[in-house]
Structure 1
Amino acid sequence: MTYSKLLFSRLSAPAVLTATMAVAMPQFAAAETLNVGINSDVTNLDPHRATSTTDKSLVGWMFNGLVRFPPGSANPAEIEPDLAESWESSEDGLEWTFKLREGVPFHGGYGTVTAEDVVYSLTRAANTDSSSFAGDYSGFASVEATGPMTVKITLAAPVAGFLGLVANYHGGNIVSKKAAEELGEAFNGQPVGTGPFMFSEAVTQQYVSLAANPEYFRGAPQIDDIKYQIIPSDSSRELAFQAGELDLIYGKREQRWVEQTKGLEGSTVDVFLPGEYRTLHLNMTHAPLDDIKVRQAIAHAINVDEIVAFVGGDVGPRGCSVVPTGYLGENCDAGTYAYDPELAKSLLAEAGHPDGVTFKAVVSSNASQLPIMEVIQAQLAQAGITMEMSIVDHPTYHEQIRQDASDAVFYGAARFPVADSYLSQFYHSSAIVGTETAITNFSHCAVADEAIEAARVATSEEEQLKLWAEAQKLIHEEVCSVPLFSLMQVWARHDGLDYGYDLKGALNLAPPITEATTITR
C-alpha cells in the first residue's frame, strides 16, 4: 500500500532560532499573543510522559508525529503525512516504511529531523523507563533506519490502528535525540519538538509560555506567542474570559455552563470529540471490592441516567460498554448494569454485609471530576454503601492512583478510537498499575487477556470484532468497572479567534493552535 506525497510550504532560512530569539526578532513577530486559561498546573511536557489534559494540550502544539490527524479531526480515516512525506506497507501489514520530509528543524538549534531521531523516539516510547505509553508498542518487533531519511518498522503481528501509534499523539510524537540525551530528566520541563510553537518559559502554578516557531515547516505561525495561564478556579477563569483577558478557556463540561456561555456576546463554545470516557474502576484486589457481589452491588447502586442528566446529554452522552462510544469494536450486547438499589442491598447481604460496606476513593478536586463523584457518593449511600473520599489536587490524584492507593478510581480518558487501545490500556493484565508495564489498569482486571491478545492477531475484521465483543462481555461479567458516560471536550473562545480549520475533534483534547490560527481584536 503506497501513500502519495503531500507537499507543504517550508521556510528557506537555514538556521533554527531558540524560543528567546524567536520572541525578540521583529521580522518574525505576528499580530497578537494568544491568552489561554486552563484549570490545573502543568506537570510534564515530555510527550512520552504527558497524560493529563493540561499537559497534552501543550504537547499537541509543540510536537509532530510521522503522520497526523489533520487539525480539527479525530478520525483515523483522515490521517495524513506529517514528518513523513510518504509511506508504504507490506501486504501482510507487518512491515511499514516511512520516507521522512527533508530539512525539518527542531526547536532550539538541535538540527533537523533524521531517521536516527525517529528510531530513538519510537524506541523511547516503547520503553517503560521513559514512556507512559510503552504498552502500546508491545507489538513492535523492531524500528530501524534503512537510510538517513528512511525508517522501517517491523511488527510481531498486525496492530489494530497502527498509524495511530506513529501519529502526533502520545508516544507517536518525535523528539530530538540530541536534546533528550543532553537534557536528561530536565527534558520534561524543556521540551524540544518540531511544531508550530516552541517552549519559552514556565512558572509553576502560574503559566507556561510558548513562542512561535518561525521555521515551522508548514510556515511561520500568524500569532506571536501563547500564554497558557493556570487558573484552577472556574469562576476566576470565566471572569477573565468575560473581561477579554483570555481569548480561549477550558470550559466547564456541564450543559448549563455551555448554554450560559453561548449566550455571551461575541463568544463561541466548541463541544467536540473525542469524549473522555468516564468510568469508575473497582480495584478487585482491595477488600471489600475483592468480592464480586460487592462490585455488583456498587454497579447496581449507581444511577447512570441521573448522572447523564446532571452533566447534560450534549456534553455527556451515556456509554453502553467498557469500550467508549464510537470506537471501532464497541459492542453493547452485554448490556448495562440496571439501576436497582434494592438489588444492591440484597447482593451486599449475600456477601455478608447486611449493614452495608465502606470503601475509599482518592478523588481529584478538578471541577470535571469532583461533582460527579459527589453524585455517585450520594447514590451509593442510598444502598448502604459508603464511599469515603480523599479529595486532593489533580497532580496528586494522578500520582496516588498510580500508586494503587485507591479502592475505586474515577477516570476519564480518550485514546486512539479502536477497541484494542482501550481494552489493552485499562483491562489487560500487563497494564495493571504498580507493575513494570503499568498503564491505567486500576481495577487489576485480567479476565479478558486471551481475547484481547487474540484480537490483535486476528486475520479478519469479522474475527477481530468477535474477539473484542468477547473481551467486553468478560469484563462486564467480572464487574471490573462501571462505565458511565463520554465527557466531550468543551472550550470557549472569543469570536476574534479563528482556528484556521473546522473543529470537529482533537485527540490531544484541546483545539489545535497552528500556523493558520489568527486573532482579531
Structure 2
Amino acid sequence: MSKKFGKSIIAAIAASALTGWIAPGVAYAATLRVAVGAADISTLDPARASNTQDVAIVSWIFNGLVRFAPGSADPKRIEPDLAESWTSSPDGLVWTFKLRKDVKFHGDYGTVSADDVVFSLQRAKSPDTSSFSSDYAAFTSIEAVDPLTVRITLSEPVPGFLGLLANYHGGNIVSKKAAEALGAKFKAAPVGTGPFQFDKAVTQQSVYLKAFPDYFRGAPKIDDIRVDLIPSDSSRELAFRSGELDLIYGKREQRWVDQAKSWGNAVVDIFAPGEYRTVFINMARKPLDNVKVREAIAHAINVDQIVQFVGAGVALKGCSSVPNDYLGEDCTWTYKYDPETSKQLLAEAGLKSGLTLSAVVSSSSAQQPIMEVIQAQLADVGINMQMKVVDHPTYHEQIRKDLSDLVFYGAARYPVADSYLSQFYHSDASIGKPTAVTNFAHCDAADADINAARKAATDEERIKLWSEAQKKIFDQVCGVPLFSLMQVWVHNKALNYGYVLKGSLNLAPPITEQATLNR
C-alpha cells in the first residue's frame, strides 16, 4: 500500500467518525441496535424461554449439540454445532455424540464437557426446570462416556430426534458450573457458548449483549447488541425510520408490510416457520363442556375472513390441529363456516338466546385485532365474547392459570406432528397439571394415538396414528385452527446477516459471527 493511499483511507475513516459517512466497502464493527415488541424480558433461561423476545435473545447466546443452518428452519439442513459428529444404533434408540474440543463458555466457566451436556439435557427433561420437558420423555438415559462423549438412550424412536438437540428450546447447552452457582439468578444472567454473551439488562428498557471474542467459530464482526424493549409498533417504526435502530420486530399485517417495503433504507424479512394460530376452547368450563356449544363456536368463526384481514402474504390458512407443512399434517377434517348451523347447535344445547364467554387477550398487535374480528363473528350468532385485554406477559401468566374460556395462542414448534399434538392436545400437557405445557382446551381425545405414534417403528405407521389423532381432536372440538402467521422483521440495508434468511425456529434472524454493519 502506498503512503498516499494509506493516508486517504485514514482520512476517510477520520471523516466518518465526525460525519457518519464511511467509504464504500469499508465495514467496521459497531453496536447492532435491535427492538423487540415487548415491555420486558420474562426469562433468558433457554429451558424456560418461550416468548418471542426471550427466544430471540437466547438464540444469540447459546448453542446446541447440532444446529439448524443459519437462515434455515429445514430439519434436513441440521449440521454439527457443539458436537462435531454423531452415530446412532440401527434401531434409532442409542445415539452417541462426540464433542468439539476446547469450546469455551462465556466468562470464567471453562470449556464444554460431556458433564455440561448431560446436565443441560437432564434439566431440559425435568418439568421442575423446563417448559419443554414432555419433548424429552423418551430420553431414558443421558450419560457421559468420557469428557467429550455423550450417549443418549431412548425408550422408543423419537420423530425429529436431532431437532431436540438443536439450538432451540431445551436443546441449548448451558454451563453446569454457572447454572449451579447462579441458581435462580441464571435466568437473568445466562451463560452459554454463542457468538454473543450477556452483559446487562435494564428492566423494561434494554438488554445488552457483547461479542464473545473466544467464540469457537471465530470472533463476531459486530462489537455488541443492544436490544430495546418497545411494545409499541409505531414507536419501533419511528425509531427505525429515524435511523436509531438497525433491526426491528415488525407488525405482521399485510398493509404494514407493504408500507415498510417503501421505506428507502428498509429490507423486509418474511420467513418461516409461521406461528400457528388456534382458538382453544376450554372444556373444563361450563357450558363449554357441551360438545354442541364447542361445535357452535367452530362453525361461527370465518377463517377466510380472518386470513383476508391479516393478509395472504403473511398468513397461511390452516386446516388441521397440526400446523401447515408439519410432517403428519392431515387436512381431511376441517370446520365449515356456517352461522346458521351454529345458531341451531346453540338452541339444541339450551342456549337459544345465546351465551357470554370470557377471553384473556394480549394487547399485542398480532393478537388483539384478530380477536376483535373473532369477537364480531361470534356476536353474529349470539355469542358474547368479553375480552379482558392485558399486556403480553400478563396474558401468558393468566392463561396458564386457566382463567379464560377461549385462548387465542400462536406457536412454532419443531415441524413434526408429535411436537404440536403432545404439547397442545395430550392430556398430560393440560393446564393445571404438574406436567402442563400448553393444552388450554384440556383435550384428551387423542392420548392413545399420540402415545402409540411415539412408539411406531416406521413413519408410515406413525403418520397413520397422527391422522387418527387429528380426527379425534376434530370430533372433540378442542379448538379452531386458524392460520400460520409468518415472522416479520425489518432490517436496514447497512446490516448484512451473512446468509440468506428463509427460516428460523427461534423466530428471529440469527445474529452470528458473520453478521456485519456497514453504515
Taking structure 2 as the reference length, what is the TM-score of the superposition?
0.94
Is the Cα–Cα contact under 8 Å of residues 328 and 418 in structure 1 kept in the other structure?
Answer: yes
Cα distance in 2 for partners of 1:206, 1:235 equals 17
Deviations 1:62-121, CA, capped at 9 Å, x for gaps: 000000001100000110000000000000000000000000000111000000000000
In the alignment, which residue of structure 2 is the partner of 1:74? 73
Q: Which amino acid is 2:182 matched to?
A: L
Cα distance in 2 for partners of 1:288, 1:191 equals 45
Cα distance in 2 for partners of 1:229, 1:266 equals 20
**Larger-Rg structure:** 2
Is the Cα–Cα contact under 8 Å of residues 30 and 221 in structure 1 kept in the other structure?
Answer: no
Is the Cα–Cα contact under 8 Å of residues 102 and 149 in structure 1 kept in the other structure?
Answer: yes
In the alignment, which residue of structure 2 is the partner of 1:244? 243
Q: Which amino acid is 1:250 matched to?
A: Y
Alpha-carbon distance, 1:266 to partner: 2.1
In the alignment, which residue of structure 1 is the partner of 2:396? 398
In the alignment, which residue of structure 2 is the partner of 1:426? 424
Alpha-carbon distance, 1:457 to partner: 1.1
Cα distance in 2 for partners of 1:504, 1:292 equals 40
Which secondary structure does the structure 2 equivalent of 1:56 belong to?
A: helix
Is the Cα–Cα contact under 8 Å of residues 426 and 440 in structure 1 kept in the other structure?
Answer: yes
In the alignment, which residue of structure 2 is the partner of 1:19? none
Name the Cα RMSD after superposition. Answer: 0.9
Is the Cα–Cα contact under 8 Å of residues 275 and 488 in structure 1 kept in the other structure?
Answer: yes
In the alignment, which residue of structure 2 is the partner of 1:187? 186
Q: Which amino acid is 1:401 matched to?
A: I
Cα distance in 2 for partners of 1:339, 1:443 equals 21
Structure 1 residue 214 corresponds to structure 2 residue 176: no
Question: Which of 29, 34, 38 does residue 31 from structure 1 map onto?
Answer: 29
In the alignment, which residue of structure 2 is the partner of 1:278? 277
Question: Which of 426, 438, 443 does residue 440 from structure 1 map onto?
Answer: 438
In the alignment, which residue of structure 1 is the partner of 2:494? 496
Which secondary structure does the structure 2 equivalent of 1:358 belong to?
A: strand
Is the Cα–Cα contact under 8 Å of residues 221 and 513 in structure 2 kept in the other structure?
Answer: yes
In the alignment, which residue of structure 2 is the partner of 1:24? none
Is the Cα–Cα contact under 8 Å of residues 178 and 186 in structure 2 kept in the other structure?
Answer: yes
Task: Structure 1: give runs of 5+ residues left out of the alignment.
Answer: 1-28
Is the Cα–Cα contact under 8 Å of residues 30 and 224 in structure 1 kept in the other structure?
Answer: no
Alpha-carbon distance, 1:288 to partner: 1.4
Q: What does 1:76-475 correspond to in 2, within 5 Å?
A: 76-334=75-333, 336-475=334-473
Question: Which of 506, 509, 512 does residue 508 from structure 1 map onto?
Answer: 506
Deviations 1:223-264, CA, capped at 9 Å, x for gaps: 010000011111111010000100000000001111110011
4+ long deviations beyond 4 Å: none
Is the Cα–Cα contact under 8 Å of residues 64 and 82 in structure 2 kept in the other structure?
Answer: yes
Alpha-carbon distance, 1:217 to partner: 0.3
Is the Cα–Cα contact under 8 Å of residues 28 and 518 in structure 2 kept in the other structure?
Answer: no
Cα distance in 1 for partners of 2:173, 2:360 equals 34
Which secondary structure does the structure 2 equivalent of 1:400 belong to?
A: helix
Q: Which amino acid is 1:53 matched to?
A: T
Is the Cα–Cα contact under 8 Å of residues 28 and 517 in structure 2 kept in the other structure?
Answer: no
Deviations 1:304-335, CA, capped at 9 Å, x for gaps: 0000000011101100101000101101112x
Cα distance in 2 for partners of 1:239, 1:288 equals 46
Alpha-carbon distance, 1:461 to partner: 1.4
Which secondary structure does the structure 2 equivalent of 1:109 belong to?
A: coil
Cα distance in 1 for partners of 2:266, 2:393 equals 30
Alpha-carbon distance, 1:30 to partner: 6.0
Which secondary structure does the structure 1 equivalent of 2:107 belong to?
A: helix
Q: Which amino acid is 2:488 matched to?
A: V
Structure 1 residue 52 corresponds to structure 2 residue 37: no
Cα distance in 2 for partners of 1:250, 1:48 equals 23
Which secondary structure does the structure 2 equivalent of 1:171 belong to?
A: helix
Deviations 1:458-516, CA, capped at 9 Å, x for gaps: 11211111101000011011100100000000000111110000000000000000000
In the alignment, which residue of structure 2 is the partner of 1:12? none
Cα distance in 1 for partners of 2:230, 2:458 equals 49
Is the Cα–Cα contact under 8 Å of residues 360 and 388 in structure 1 kept in the other structure?
Answer: yes
Q: Which amino acid is 2:69 matched to?
A: P
Cα distance in 1 for partners of 2:413, 2:103 equals 28
Q: Which amino acid is 2:448 matched to?
A: E
Q: Which amino acid is 1:388 matched to?
A: Q
Aligned residues: 492
